[in-house]
Chain A
Amino acid sequence: MVKPDVQGISMDGVSENKMVPSDFSTGPMEKAAKPLPFKDPNFVHSGHGGAVAGKKNRTWKNLKQILASERALPWQLNDPNYFSIDAPPSFKPAKKYSDVSGLLANYTDPQSKLRFSTIEEFSYIRRLPSDVVTGYLALRKATSIVP
């Protein structure tokens, strides 16, 4: 196959071109000590442009961005990929546990929406400062105020 080879060589040419002007920028990136013997000191990541690629390509993509661009690729219906193997949401209703002690909670405080299982827990909850209350709710991801 001639095509892939030609493309391979020209890709290399492209990458070599970009290596040459980047020599000066990798200078300050190397340690003051001797450069490591097992790596190419002129290597520049293509995913992270650094100073060479200009201002637009400075940071690494995080997982969300990578997955967003992966979704756009031409997948077939049954292909396994990172987002298709996410576990499905649960069908069973969640059990309710007390926020304070973790025991099974039969009751919910209407004022703060915290769950509790005994009377002592209730009095404890009513004496809590508001930041601790929001902390417990945030732990359960129950902080949004939906009437």
Chain B
Amino acid sequence: MAAATAAGLATNVFPFRDARAAPDPVLEAGPVAHGSLPVPLVLDNGSFQARAGWACPGPDPGPEPRLQFRAVCARGRGGARGGAGPQVGNALGSLEPLRWMLRSPFDRNVPVNLELQELLLDYSFQHLGVSSQVTGEGCVDHPIVLTEAVCTPLYSRQMMSELLFECYGIPKVAYGIDSLFSFYHNNPKNMISSGLIISSGYQCTHILPILEGRLDARNCKRINLGGSQAAGYLQRLLQLKYPGHLAAITLSRMEEILHEHSYIAEDYVEELQKWRCPDYYENNVHKMQLPFSSKLLGSTLTSEEKQERRQQQLRRLQELNARRREEKLQLDQERLDRLLYVQELLEDGQMDQFHKALIELNMDSPEELQSYIQKLSAAVEQAKQKILQAEVSLEVDVVDSKPETPDLEQLEPSLEDVENINDFEPLFSEETPEVEKPVATVQPVFNLAAYHQLFVGTERIRAPEIIFQPSLIGEEQAGIAETLQYILDRYPKDVQELLVQNVLLTGGNMMYPGMKVRIEKELLEMRPFQSSFQVQLAANPVLDAWYGARDWALDHLDNEDVWITRKDYEEKGGGYLREHCASNVYVPIRLPKQASRSAEAQASGKGSGASGGGAGEQA
């Protein structure tokens, strides 16, 4: 048994890479950016990563986007130092030390904090080497292709348009949906295609039916679960299983586990049955090796040492209290003596001095003085009593296995004492939860490495499974399979047949091994007997949205009615959208233009007039 475990311990042990991002160089735009026509900038604005690059015309479109960085920013550590300002993306290096200070412009998949968005855009433009060709005027001369959420709120698009047109002065912009760009990239260009896109990103998963090249927005559905929820779930699972390693189980490491050690089970229940068997468990558990931490080692040593420490702390506390009491007693006695002296003055009949002293002491009458003296002498007596009692209890030896409650009871509760006890209690309760051993294996030999290993067994399939079964995480929404069925049922049978012939899986959260097989199995279950369907995984699920947007930009450079120009923005408001094959559906509702308080009175009048006009036009 010992030999088997010793051999088993050596297999399947993986270290954490804990990769740090290298800071991006400030690139030169190069000849690429200055052609006869302004070269479009393509920005895939995602909640996980932002990807930016040029859409270079010519025979070779070029490799990957020049910039890929996490869409977060944070101030440097130690507050804002020296005007350095917030750092963005890859300039942050490792995310973990700054985890609580990270801020993202996104709330779910919609950008809501446009100031942070501005920072991200600044970073992108700066590192791509964008410069203004018209001197003296700060603006970006290139048309921009930007991705937005499916059916993004009009307010958000308005804010984004305002940022792009008024702050950066771009000539024209085109908004599109990242999954649709990916579809554009993965399908042959000359065909008007229909299909179904299942796109799973960092924050949510969309199912988008495409009919004849155009998004059927009424029948899209969005499940609010994605990679970040899976990472959070995995983190909580491991933290609850290993409470001693709370700080070492970080979100970055969880993302590493998800990217490299997780997979999607083809049949979840069957796979779980396989995991029940201990041999299968031994062969397939991934043991993540945490770096050595002496703090953990110290706290798992004998409980007697812990008791020792507790007793020492108690003794220190008692001594502190006794000292404090003595000091207070001394002070009180001095004051009492002074008051008695003043009272003697009164008795001796030296009225002037007495009155002077009274004023010094801030008292009005001899009666007050008397009552004060009485109170003070009573307090002094009490203090003397307490000191005597405390001395007695210190001599009593405390020797038992559960030192907490009896010790605390012996310390007399006075105001100061209670405060001190409350300070120490959290210390006591922190040390009680013991480090939990992994459930299925027992280590008879003290193996230091094993104490620092996280056993990731069924968690490998549990965490990614939440998009199929949101009830794992307590979400009420339906999973991918049920939502797929719901959407297909809204179409007549022939359209259903058409849609399932071209199912595309895209998005970073679709990259688990076994995802395609699982989707095929789900489709097999819901489609009629012996009907056919075709599922395709995008060539590069993470970057295809950017590639598609670049291809789209190059194909539509000279097509004027897909770009929103500055004139359109000024005439028709920020929520305006020009539809194209990869865009949202435009609903012509005019939002009142947001304005500052001073101009709001004027603007609100005009704004409601405009929206009234807009609704009138609509009808």
Contact = CB atoms under 8 A, between A and B. Distances in A.
B603 A4 contact: no
Contacts of A102: 272, 275, 458-459, 461-462
A82 B109 CA distance: 11
Interface in B439-478: 439-440, 457-459, 461-462, 469-478
Interface stretch (B131-139, B292-300, B516-524): B131-139
A38 B168 contact: yes
B167 A39 contact: yes
Nearest to B223: A87
Nearest to A11: B593
Most chain B CB within a 10 A radius of its CB, from A76, A87, A88? A87
B48 interface: no
A94 B475 CA distance: 11
A82 B138 contact: no
A39 B240 CA distance: 48
Contacts of A85: 150-151, 217, 220-222
A94 B478 CA distance: 10
B53 to A, nearest CB: 16
Interface in A20-74: 31-33, 35-41, 43-49, 52-54, 56-57, 60-63, 66-67, 69-70, 73-74
A87 B478 CA distance: 7
B122 interface: yes
A40 B240 contact: no
B251 interface: no
A49 B115 CA distance: 11
Nearest to A60: B113
Contacts of A61: 112, 155
B527 interface: no
Contact of A8 (B163, B473, B570): B570
Interface in A93-147: 94-95, 97, 100-104, 120-121, 124, 129, 131-132, 135-136, 139-142
B230 to A, nearest CB: 13
A57 B596 contact: yes
B175 interface: no
A78 to B, nearest CB: 6
Given A74-B589, A85-B151, A89-B477, A40 B596 contact: no
Most chain B CB within a 10 A radius of its CB, from A5, A12, A74, A89? A74
B289 to A, nearest CB: 22
A32 B83 contact: yes
A101 B439 contact: yes
A44 to B, nearest CB: 8
B127 to A, nearest CB: 12
Contacts of A36: 122, 125-126, 138
Given A31-B85, A40-B138, A60-B112, A47 B594 contact: yes
Given A36-B122, A90-B476, A81 B587 contact: yes
Could you say which interface size class chain B belongs to? 35 or more
B565 interface: no
B478 A89 contact: yes
A98 to B, nearest CB: 9
A132 B220 CA distance: 39
Contact of B470 (A53, A81, A90): A90
Interface in B285-318: none
Contacts of A49: 596-597
Contacts of A39: 122, 125, 138-140, 167-169
Contacts of B130: 38
B107 interface: yes
B259 interface: no
B104 interface: no
Contacts, number: 232
**A interface majority secondary structure:** loop
A11 B572 CA distance: 12
Contact of A82 (B139, B140, B152): B152
A56 B154 contact: no
A75 to B, nearest CB: 7
A55 B149 CA distance: 31
B155 A70 contact: yes
B602 interface: yes
B38 interface: no
Contacts of A47: 114, 155, 159, 162, 594
A33 B85 CA distance: 10
Interface stretch (B390-398, B418-426, B479-487, B538-546): B479-487
30 contacts: A8-B571, A12-B570, A14-B595, A38-B130, A38-B131, A38-B132, A38-B138, A38-B168, A39-B167, A45-B118, A70-B153, A75-B587, A75-B589, A80-B151, A85-B151, A85-B217, A85-B221, A86-B477, A89-B476, A89-B478, A91-B478, A91-B482, A95-B471, A97-B272, A100-B241, A101-B439, A101-B457, A103-B276, A103-B458, A121-B439
Interface of B: 83, 85, 107-108, 110, 112-115, 118, 122, 125-126, 130-132, 138-140, 149-156, 159, 162-163, 166-169, 217-218, 220-224, 233, 236-237, 239-241, 243, 269, 272-273, 275-276, 432-433, 439-440, 457-459, 461-462, 469-479, 482-483, 486, 570-572, 585, 587, 589, 591, 593-599, 602-603, 606, 609-611, 613, 615, 618
Top 9 closest A-B pairs, CB basis? A141-B474, A94-B471, A80-B217, A102-B458, A63-B107, A32-B83, A90-B478, A43-B167, A46-B594
Interface of A: 3-5, 7-8, 10-12, 14-15, 17-18, 31-33, 35-41, 43-49, 52-54, 56-57, 60-63, 66-67, 69-70, 73-76, 78-82, 84-92, 94-95, 97, 100-104, 120-121, 124, 129, 131-132, 135-136, 139-142
